[in-house]
Structure 1
Amino acid sequence: MASMTNLIFLFVFLIIIAVAVKISFYFNKKRLIKKLNENWGKFSESPYDLETSKFYNRFNNQREIKDFYALDDETWKDLDLNELFEVINRTVTPIGSQILYDLLRNPRTSSDELNKREKIITSFTENVPLRQNVQVTLLSLAKLPAKYLAYSLWHPLPDKPKYAFVFYFLSALSLWLPVLVILNYIHWGIIALLFAINSIIYTFYEKKLSKFVVSFKFLSELINASRKISNLLPVEFSEIITELKNEIKHTKTISKKVYSLQFDDTTNVFVGYYNMYTLSSITSFLTAINSLKKNIQSLRHIFEIVGYIDAMIAIASYRKQFPNFCRPLFNSNDDKFNIEKIYHPLIIEPVSNDFNFESKNILLTGSNMSGKTTFLKTVSLNAVMAQTLNMCMANKYAAPFLKVISSIGKADDLMSGKSYYMAEVESILKIVNASQTNVVHLFIIDEIFRGTNSIERTAASIEVLKYLANKKDFTIVATHDLQLTKILQENYRNYHFREEMTDGGLHFDYKLHSGTATSKNAIALLEYVGYPKSIVDGAKKLI
Structure 2
Amino acid sequence: MEETFQRMIEDEETSLKEQNKMFNVIGYSKLIFAGLFFVSVYNAFTRGTEHREIVLAVIEFVILLFLWHYQAGLRERMMYSEGMIAINKRHLERLSGKWTQFPDIGEEFIDRDHPYACDLDVVGNKSLFQLLNTTHTWYGRQLFAKNLLYPDFTASEICKRQQAIVELSKDIKFTNEVEYETGKIGADEHSSKLVDALTDKTLFMKNRQLKRVISAVPFLSIAGLMIIAIIHPELFLKAAIGCWSIQIVIWILGVVHTQAYLRRVYNLPYLVSAYRNVWKRMIDKEFTSEKLIEIKECLKDSDVSAIKAIKDLEIIAECISVRSNVIIYFVLNALFLWDYQCVFLLERWKENYADHAKDWFLALGEIESLICFANLPRVCSQVSLPTIEESRKVIKAKKMGHPLIQNEVRVTNDVGLDEQIFIISGSNMSGKTTFLRTIGINLVLAQSGSLVCAEQMNFAPMKIMTSMRIADDLNEGISTFYAELKRIKGIIELAKNEEQVLFLIDEIFRGTNSVDRLTGAREVILQLNAYDAIGMITTHDLELCELEKHTKRIWNYSFSESYQDRKIIFDYKLKAGRSTTTNAKYLMDLIGITK
TM > 0.5: yes
Question: Aligned pair in 2 of structure 1 residues 253, 498: CA closer, same or farther (>3 Å)?
Answer: closer
Deviation (angstroms), 1:344? 1.3
Aligned to 1:340: 398
Question: Aligned pair in 2 of structure 1 residues 151, 411: CA closer, same or farther (>3 Å)?
Answer: farther
Alpha-carbon separation, structure 1, partners of 2:369 and 2:514: 48
Of residues 345, 368, 374 in structure 2, which corresponds to 1:316?
A: 374
1:418 aligns with 2:478: yes
Of residues 304, 325, 341 in structure 1, which corresponds to 2:383?
A: 325
Give yes or no for contact 1:213–1:285 (8 Å, CA) kept in 2: no
Alpha-carbon separation, structure 2, partners of 1:262 and 1:78: 49
**CA offsets, 1:145-198, max 9 Å, x none?**
6653235546996955769999x98xx99xx9xxx99x9889x9xx99x99x99
Of residues 282, 298, 323 in structure 2, which corresponds to 1:229?
A: 282
Aligned to 1:218: 271
Aligned to 1:62: none
Alpha-carbon separation, structure 1, partners of 2:537 and 2:499: 19
Aligned to 1:306: 364
Q: How does 1:95-244 map to 2 (within 5 A)?
A: 95-127=139-171, 130-131=174-175, 134-135=177-178, 139=181, 142-144=184-186, 147-151=189-193, 153=195, 213-214=266-267, 218=271, 221-222=274-275, 225-234=278-287, 237-244=292-299
Name the amino acid aligned to 2:282.
I
Question: Aligned pair in 2 of structure 1 residues 351, 461: CA closer, same or farther (>3 Å)?
Answer: same
1:450 aligns with 2:450: no
Aligned to 1:467: 527
Partner SS, residue 414 of structure 2: strand
Give yes or no for contact 2:162–2:451 (8 Å, CA) kept in 1: no
Unaligned runs of 5+ residues in structure 1 are 59-70, 534-543
Give yes or no for contact 1:148–1:215 (8 Å, CA) kept in 2: no
Aligned to 1:68: none
Aligned to 1:436: 496
Give yes or no for contact 1:340–1:353 (8 Å, CA) kept in 2: yes
Alpha-carbon separation, structure 1, partners of 2:328 and 2:68: 32
Aligned to 1:483: 543
Name the amino acid aligned to 1:232.
K
Q: Report % sequence identity.
A: 23
Alpha-carbon separation, structure 2, partners of 1:368 and 1:329: 34
Name the amino acid aligned to 1:144.
G
Aligned to 1:245: 300
**CA offsets, 1:450-491, max 9 Å, x none?**
223333333232222211114643111111222222246424
Alpha-carbon separation, structure 2, partners of 1:199 and 1:154: 22
Name the amino acid aligned to 2:378.
K
Question: Aligned pair in 2 of structure 1 residues 37, 374: CA closer, same or farther (>3 Å)?
Answer: closer
CA RMSD, 1 decimal: 4.9
1:380 aligns with 2:435: no
Question: Aligned pair in 2 of structure 1 residues 226, 376: CA closer, same or farther (>3 Å)?
Answer: same
Of residues 114, 121, 133 in structure 2, which corresponds to 1:73?
A: 114
Aligned to 1:516: 578
**CA offsets, 1:323-345, max 9 Å, x none?**
31121121233144322111111
Aligned to 1:363: 423
Range 255-264 or range 318-327, more displaced? 255-264
Deviation (angstroms), 1:15? 5.4
Of residues 551, 556, 566 in structure 2, which corresponds to 1:494?
A: 556
Aligned to 1:539: none
- Structure 1 or 2, whichever has the larger Rg, is 2
Partner SS, residue 368 of structure 1: coil
The TM-score normalised by the length of structure 1 is: 0.75
Range 451-460 or range 368-377, more displaced? 451-460
1:392 aligns with 2:452: yes
- Give the total of aligned pairs: 508
**CA offsets, 1:437-461, max 9 Å, x none?**
3441211111222223333333232
**CA offsets, 1:514-533, max 9 Å, x none?**
22223222232222110143
Aligned to 1:354: 414
Question: Aligned pair in 2 of structure 1 residues 436, 313: CA closer, same or farther (>3 Å)?
Answer: same
Q: How does 1:252-291 map to 2 (within 5 A)?
A: 256=312, 260=316, 288=346
Question: Aligned pair in 2 of structure 1 residues 371, 36: CA closer, same or farther (>3 Å)?
Answer: closer
Name the amino acid aligned to 1:325.
V
Give yes or no for contact 1:264–1:272 (8 Å, CA) kept in 2: no
Question: Aligned pair in 2 of structure 1 residues 482, 114: CA closer, same or farther (>3 Å)?
Answer: same
Question: Aligned pair in 2 of structure 1 residues 466, 256: CA closer, same or farther (>3 Å)?
Answer: same
Give yes or no for contact 1:52–1:94 (8 Å, CA) kept in 2: no
